[in-house]
Copies of this chain bind each other. A is one copy, B any other.
Amino acid sequence: MSTAPPMLINGVAGSQVPALDRGLQYGDGLFETVRCEQGGLRWFGRHLARLGAGCERLGIAMPGGALLRSEAVAVAAGMPRSLVKIIVTRGEARARGYRPRGDEIPTRIVSAHPWPAAPEAEFRVGLSAVTLGVNPQLAGIKHLNRLEQVLAQRAATDTGLQEVLMRSGQGEVVCGSMSNLFLWQGSELLTPGLDACGVAGIMRGLLLELAPRLGLAVRVGPVSVAQLTAARAIIVTNVRLGLQPVHWYEGRRLEVDERGAQLQELIDATP
């Protein structure tokens, strides 16, 4: 980074971790990216819930939520708007090899990053040739094994694309490299299920929960490349972008459905 971000490692200001941390050795950990506005963390309970589910799945002792909250607030102090990244790993390796000994002490790495520049006015999305491996045991959680996303974003360098959509190895469209995906289908929204791969995004969860209040049905089910190619309007979501209308998909101009903005207002008003 151009300047070192404010960072707490296990509650202490710092920037280094042991090279033997299992987060580095194996990607044995989880992360959250939290929106922070005027010192307030947005939807933090939801982030904690997902992190807790991930810890449960991997068998990592979940750090206390109040502790993580106070560390997140501390690193973001003085920044009007930021993205706080929370990494929780299983901790430093106690023995060589993949098998955890069980007495590792989880590592907390909490850092604040300036709010990124807004995406270009025209949001361009393409379809990645990099696919997602299917693994129900890892699906949904936000773990540190992110090479597929790195390869997809790397392949998109110099394409002018802000995001790329990814298929599972079985051919179904699952999500963006850093976002979830919604297709407008008449009065309904369609979003892929995340039982095989992908991350259950916070913004996706908010949308699923709040859409019915606007009389919008959201269907969770398989999405094919053909459906993507035929879609009238598409949204990608994450806590940074919110509900981001896609203006161009694979060079094809899409419509922007104005109900997206209404849904965004409702989400923004939700604590």
Answer yes or no: A133 CB below 8 A from chain B CBs: yes
Q: Looking at the complex, which one of B100, B144, B177 makes contact with A24 (CB distance below 8 Å)?
A: B144
In the complex, A239 Cα to B7 Cα: how many Å? Answer: 39
A169: nearest residue on chain B (CB-CB)?
B134
B133, A169: Cβ atoms closer than 8 Å: yes
Interface size counted on chain A using CB atoms at 8 A: 65
The segment from A41-49, A73-81, A152-160 that touches chain B is: A152-160
Question: Contact string, A73-94, partner B, CB cutoff 8 A, digits 1/0?
Answer: 0000000000100010100011
Q: Which residue of B lies closest to A158 (CB)?
A: B102
Residues of B within 8 A of A200 (CB): none
- In the complex, A96 Cα to B15 Cα: how many Å? 15
A213 to chain B: which residues have CB within 8 Å?
none
**A16 within 8 Å of B by Cβ?**
yes
Task: Annotate A130-146 by CB proximity to B: 1 below 8 A, 0 otherwise.
Answer: 11111111100001111
Q: A96-B116, A147-B143, A151-B137 are in contact. Are A87 and B130 (CB under 8 A)?
A: no
Query: Do A147 and B28 form a contact, CB below 8 Å, given A1-B94, A153-B98?
Result: yes
B146:A137 contact, CB within 8 angstroms:
no
Contact pick for A98, options B21, B59, B177, CB 8 Å: B177
Q: How far is the CA of A19 from the CA of B143 in the complex (A)?
A: 16
**In the assembled complex, A178 has its CB within 8 A of some CB on chain B:** yes
CB–CB A97/B153 < 8 A: yes
Bound complex: CA A31 to CA B14 (Å) = 26
**Does any Cβ of B come within 8 Å of A66's Cβ?**
no
- Which residue on chain B has the smallest CB distance to residue A145? B145
Give residues of chain A (139-190) contacting chain B, Cβ–Cβ below 8 Å: 143-154, 156-157, 169, 177-178
Contact present for A149 and B113 (CB under 8 Å): no
